[in-house]
Amino acid sequence: MDTITRRQFLKATGAGALGAAAMSLSIEEIANAAISRPLPPGTPILVVVTLYGGNDGLNTVVPASDPLYQSLRPGIAYKPEDVLPLGENLSLNGSMTGMHSLWNRNQVAIVRGVGYPNPDRSHFSSMAIWQSAIMGAAKTGWLGRWVESQPEDPMLAISLGSVLPPLLAGNRRSGSVLPLGGLKVPRGSLASDCIKLAIESQGDNLLQSMAARTMRNLFTVSSDITPILQSPAPAAPDLPTALGGNAGGETNLSQQLDIVAKLVAAGAPTRIWSVSLGGFDTHANERGAQAILLGVVSQGISKFMSQMRASNRSKDVVVLVYSEFGRRVRANASDGTDHGTSGPVFLLGERVKGGFYGEQPSLSNLKSDDLAVTTDFRDIYASVLEKILSTPAEKILGNWKGRTPLFI
Amino acid sequence: MPMASVAERRRMARLVHRFGFGPRPGEFESLLSKGFEQAAEQYLIAPASDAFADNQGSPVVSDQGRRPAPNSPDVVAYATQKRAQLSSLTFWWLDRMVLSEHSLRERMTWFWHGHWATSYQKVDDALPMYLQNERLRDHALGNFTAMSSQMVIDGALIFWLDGQTNTVKAPNENLSRELMELFTLGVNRYSEEDVKETAKALTGYRVNKTSGAVTYNPRQHFSAAIKVLGTQRSFDANSLSDFLVARDDCALFITERIWYRFVSSMNPLTDTTLISSFASRDIGALVKAIGKHASLDDPNNSMVKSPIDWFVSAARALSITPSKFSNPNSITNYLDQLGQRPFFPPNVGGWPADQAWLSTSSAQYRIQFAERLVREADLSPISTLAANSRLDALANWLAVPEWSNRTKMALNGAINDPARLTILALCSPEYVVSA
């Protein structure tokens, strides 16, 4: 697989946008990146899975045997026999069979009670805090700042979908975006004219130079990636075809992860991938809706990990799963939950030291009806930056001291 | 007439692209010849009548009732009609944006759609979305107290934010939180206790999902006094809305939001005296004050055209009627790909701004979309001209202040091919960004 892909990189480069070689960013640079450093095996890769809407942590990592849990949310609580035991009186939501089997292989770290001081219950403010790792108004994402700390390379960090998440936004440079349908680059004379539009011009303001840059990336990123996207997804040989309860129905998240799997297996020189799933804002009729979503997450990730095992990249990939906040402990009258505070964060992969981290927030000691925050999310980011992205955390997070020893 | 300076052209281009949806052929030159003061007077006040909008008629939407049982014989006709209704509503609005004689009212209706952002994704019926849209239009430049008071009892909005499941016994906070955070006051200008309390004031409203009709049942309403932002009294949805809108934070917040969408999403509101033009909650007065404000002379306040801004302004220049397009669905498909389709905001916070619209992916779809549009465009504003006058004409046609050397070079390469020339101009950084 690796060799074929490298050849594809070469071919695509030769056939594609050689005209761009005259531009300030040379196509050779990226071709060379794909050939000379097609991400050498052993280079860690981060896959960030953002769950939009505020995932209910208490029904994800479930204290099912805690009588307080049962009495605080009677309409939506799970019985111990409906969930998958993890130990320490906690269990995984019953729909997450794939992730449960990874847990049993010691490849899942669950950080409990993750949040930040004075939790903000606004989706937008809280997601901005999580994605920027800055309290208050921020214009850049933590991984966007990482991109800017690296030599320019549009392949370095890629988000699936058509809109750039704040996570990957930098001041002058940002991560790239890859639409699910792949990229269709103009050809012929229109292409050579568009490439001319992709040069930054002296009079450009910040946004105009970014617009030129995205046009340029369209030609560089797409000529490298398109051939890979057209190849079949790597097989997931050790995975049963039907996973518990969630048979059928291609979901958007699994589609995104399939593309990431192809590109990672191909050796794309990409260190960060960003994928997402929405719909976690379960103010009403939560149980069924959340279980379906968590099933999609679990099935998508376990299939992805299996594809990685078939591709020799399984030792390199770390998956980070988070949401902007957890939800209220008590259910509301619509059998849903309102916005809350802390929640669990998942890290998966062979580099991860499986097990629990952080203290489970106590149900008998709620802070004005909400779960306490026992781990700051920046502890996790700092460890990810240092161990997975090989970058001093100070460069990205400022003077942040906390760490979570998640990795082998 | 003396040639307008680049600064004058930029000021005028901002007026037409941000407070309208870009010029029609000839309009930019005519505004320039009037000068900014006169152009702004004309542009920033919506006349009572509009030659297109008054005669357009309504979209074909009606109460479809409940969905027939799966596999029943009626379900296919029902689903077909449902799709047709959404399409009728969508193209009715796109036509209105493109063809209205005066753009400000549709521009503001669009702004409010992103403010009270409600998605068909969950509402799933065209009629309530249409009723909300007309409500937003009625109040688009009117009084915000009246708008908010109507919106808190809007069927689509209540359904979207689970207001129909909000009961005295266990209030649902979704609507109450967003009412304060996103609709009236702004984040953190209230406490978590206020969220819990205001949820009680919003109990007792029930929505008929398919018609959008809202009924108030006093027996299901929490009528005892609650404490909101330090005031203890009893509230219903309307009096709560009036109470919130009367607060100083509301004037600040709405001014900030209009600033964010019309002046800059990156540079915060600097001149707080603007807030006073919203003292009586007169939206039209605030928009006019912002439209004439000196900050719009500042070159730093550039903005990226959102996909709707880009498409509608292109359609106006190219004389394209969305509903008459040979395959109208291709328009909504491209808007979907670009991430902005009317009636489908991504979440209750509305659409993102600026940088989010600049991605490799949007660069790609913009080129394809431009190619598609140009095939059905009237290119006569440039095709009838000699090659050596085309670049200047193109800048006026599309209301671009000036072409950079980079773009001139690209355009000159296509100067003899009006279609390709237009595609490139529409995809140039100077058009994609409202400089």
* Interval B217-247: pLDDT, tens: 998 899 999 999 999 999 999 999 999 999 9
Mark yes or no for CB contact A194/B427 under 8 Å: yes
Tokens coding A187: 């050809």
Q: Report which secondary-structure segment, H or E, holds A87.
A: strand A84-87
Q: How many CB atoms lie within 10 A of CB B188?
A: 12
pLDDT per residue as tens, chain A (408 positions): 232 222 232 232 222 222 221 122 222 333 344 445 578 888 999 999 999 999 999 999 999 999 999 999 998 999 999 999 999 999 999 999 999 999 999 999 999 999 999 999 888 889 989 999 999 767 789 999 999 999 888 889 988 876 788 899 888 788 887 777 666 777 778 888 888 999 889 889 989 998 998 888 888 776 666 666 666 666 665 554 333 222 233 358 988 898 888 888 877 889 999 999 988 988 988 999 999 999 999 999 999 999 999 888 999 999 999 999 999 999 988 889 999 999 999 999 999 999 999 999 999 989 888 999 999 999 999 999 999 999 999 999 999 999 999 999
Task: Show residues of chain B in contact with A161, CB under 8 Å.
Answer: 361
Judging by DSSP bridges, how do beta strands A108-115 and A84-87 pair with one another? unpaired
Q: Which of B359, B402, B409 to mutate to probe the A interface, most A CBs <10 Å?
A: B359
Query: Quick one: closest CA in A to B415, which residue?
Result: A193
Query: Cβ separation of B359 and A139 shorter than 8 Å?
Result: no
Distance CA A225, CA A265 (A): 12
What would the two tokens of residue B86 be? 């959404």
Q: What is the pLDDT of residue A227?
A: 66
Q: How far from B402 is each of A152, A299, B14, CA to CA, in Å?
A: 29, 52, 13
Are the C-beta atoms of residues A38 and A309 closer than 8 Å to each other? no
Instruction: Collect all residues with Cβ–Cβ distance below 8 Å to A29 and sequence separation of at least 6.
Output: A153
Distance from CA of B265 to the nearest CA of A (A): 10
Q: Nearest CA of chain A to the CA of B418: how many Å?
A: 12
Tell me whether residues A205 and B435 touch, CB distance under 8 A: yes
B361 and A336 in contact by Cβ < 8 A?
no
Interchain CB distance below 8 Å, A179 and B162: no
For chain A, give the number of residues: 408
Distance (Å, rounded) from C-alpha A357 to C-alpha B303?
44
pLDDT at A4: 26
- Positions of chain B with pLDDT under 50: none
Q: Is B232 helix (H, G, I), strand (E, B) or coil?
A: strand
Interchain proximity A217–B162, CB inside 8 Å: no
What residues contact residue B220 under an 8 Å CB cut-off, 6+ apart? B167, B168, B203, B204, B206
What is the C-alpha separation between B117 and B160, in angstroms, rounded?
9
pLDDT for res A232: 65
| Calpha distance A258→A304 (Å, rounded) | 7
Which of B364, B426, B431 is the best substitution to test chain A (most A C-beta atoms within 10 A)? Answer: B364
- State the best of A76, A126, A193, A323 to mutate against chain B, taking most chain B CBs within 10 Å: A193
Most B-contacting residue of A30, A189, A197, A335 (CB-CB within 10 A), to test interface: A197
* Number of inter-chain CB pairs under 8 A, A vs B: 202
Q: Which residue, among A50, A122, A280, would best test binding to B if mutated, counting the most B CBs under 10 Å from its CB?
A: A122
B37: exposed, middle or buried (Cβ count in 10 Å: 0-12, 13-18, 19+): exposed
Q: What is the 3-state secondary structure (H, E, C) of B10-23?
A: HHHHHHHHHCCCCC
Using CB atoms, which residue from A166, A202, A208 is nearest to B429? A208
Candidates A176, A208, A215; nearest CB to B435: A208
Strand boundaries in A235-340, DSSP class E = 272-277, 317-323
Short-list A395, A341, A354, A371, CA closest to A54: A341
CB contact under 8 A, A217 and B172: no
Name the residue type at position B399.
A
Nearest to A338 among B172, B361, B410 (CB): B172
Residue where the block lists tokens 């020339």:
B421
Closest to B361 (Cβ–Cβ): which among A179, A212, A283? Answer: A179
Backbone angles phi, psi at B281, to 5 degrees: 65, 30
Q: In CATH terms, is domain A45-184+251-397 a member of 3.30.1490?
A: no
Report the C-alpha gap between A162 and A318 in whole angstroms.
Answer: 24
Of A123, A197, A221, the CB nearest to B406: A197
Distance CA B156, CA B75 (A): 23
Instruction: For residue A57, give the H/E element and its range.
Output: none
How far is the alpha carbon of B58 from chain A, nearest alpha carbon, in Å? 33
Considering CB atoms only, which of B169, B352, B420 is closest to A193? B420
Q: Nearest Cα to A20, choosing from A158, A215, A161, A153? A: A215
> Hey, are the CB atoms on A334 and B304 less than 8 Å from each other?
no
Q: Which helix (H) or strand (E) holds A71?
A: helix A67-72
**Spatial CB neighbours of A88, under 8 Å, sequence gap ≥ 6:** A356, A360
**Structure token pair of residue A78:** 């799970």
Residues listed for chain B: 435
DSSP SS3 for A275: strand
Collect all residues of chain B within an 8 Å Cβ-Cβ radius of residue A189: 413-414, 420
Alpha carbon of A323: minimum distance to chain B alpha carbons (Å): 15
CA dist., res. A16 & res. A194, Å (int): 13
d(CA A384, CA A345): 13
Q: What is the rounded CA–CA span in Å between residue A122 and residue A11?
A: 48
Residue of B nearest to A190 (CA): B420
In this structure, are residues A318 and A288 in contact, taking their beta carbons and an 8 Å threshold? no
Hunting for tokens 């790609």 — which residue is that?
Answer: B364
Contact (CB<8Å) B355/A338: no
CA atoms of B346 and B352, how far apart (whole Å): 9
Question: Could you give the C-alpha distances from B409 to B412, B416, B421, in angstroms and in order?
Answer: 5, 13, 11
What is the nearest CA distance from A192 to chain B, expressed in angstroms? 9
In angstroms, the separation between the Cα of residue B416 and the nearest Cα of chain A is 13
DSSP string covering B133-153: HHHHHHTTTSBHHHHHHHHTT
